[in-house]
């Protein structure tokens, strides 16, 4: 995965162009080395990425909670109907 895509997907407040600017300023490190190229290919599972000294942990899934939808699905479940999705484990 490209470095700029990885960081922008994990940090909601940074766009890919924002990540490029941080790379140009030397604020991004991969495995302890300063990276100036935002297009660098990284392994999101094994490489250590830091932005402004903060380590970025990779989370493959983003969990969104919609209270109104959750109430409706709970009601369907209580009535014995099949839910329109597969249950997943709680977010880490």
* Residue spans of alpha helices (H) in 1-92: 3-10, 16-24, 67-78
- Could you give the number of structural domains in the chain? 1
- Helix 16-24 × helix 3-10 angle, to 10°: 120
Please name which of 50, 46, 45 lies closest in space to residue 34, comparing C-alpha atoms.
50
- Whether the CA torsion 44, 49, 51, 56 is positive or negative: it is positive
Structural domain of residue 23, as residue ranges?
3-56
Asked whether residue 83 is domain-assigned, the answer is: no
Q: Give percent helix, percent strand, percent coil of the chain, each to the nearest 5.
A: 30, 15, 55
User: Residue 75 pLDDT > 80, yes or no?
Assistant: no
The CATH number of whichever domain residue 29 belongs to comes to 3.10.290.10
Asked whether residue 78 is domain-assigned, the answer is: no
pTM as predicted: 0.64
Asked whether residue 38 is domain-assigned, the answer is: yes
Question: What confidence tens digit (pLDDT) does each residue in 36-65 have?
Answer: 999 999 998 899 999 999 999 887 765 555
Please name which of 10, 34, 13 lies closest in space to residue 1, comparing C-alpha atoms.
10
């Amino acid at each position: 995965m490209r470095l700029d895509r990885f960081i922008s997907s994990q940090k909601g407040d940074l766009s890919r162009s924002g990540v490029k600017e941080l790379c140009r300023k030397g604020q991004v490190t991969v495995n302890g080395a300063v990276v100036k190229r935002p297009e660098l290919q990284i392994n999101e599972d094994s490489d250590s990425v830091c932005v402004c000294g903060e380590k970025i942990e990779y989370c493959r899934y983003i969990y969104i909670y919609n209270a109104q939808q959750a109430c409706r699905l709970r009601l369907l479940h209580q009535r014995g109907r099949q839910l329109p999705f597969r249950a997943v484990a709680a977010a880490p």
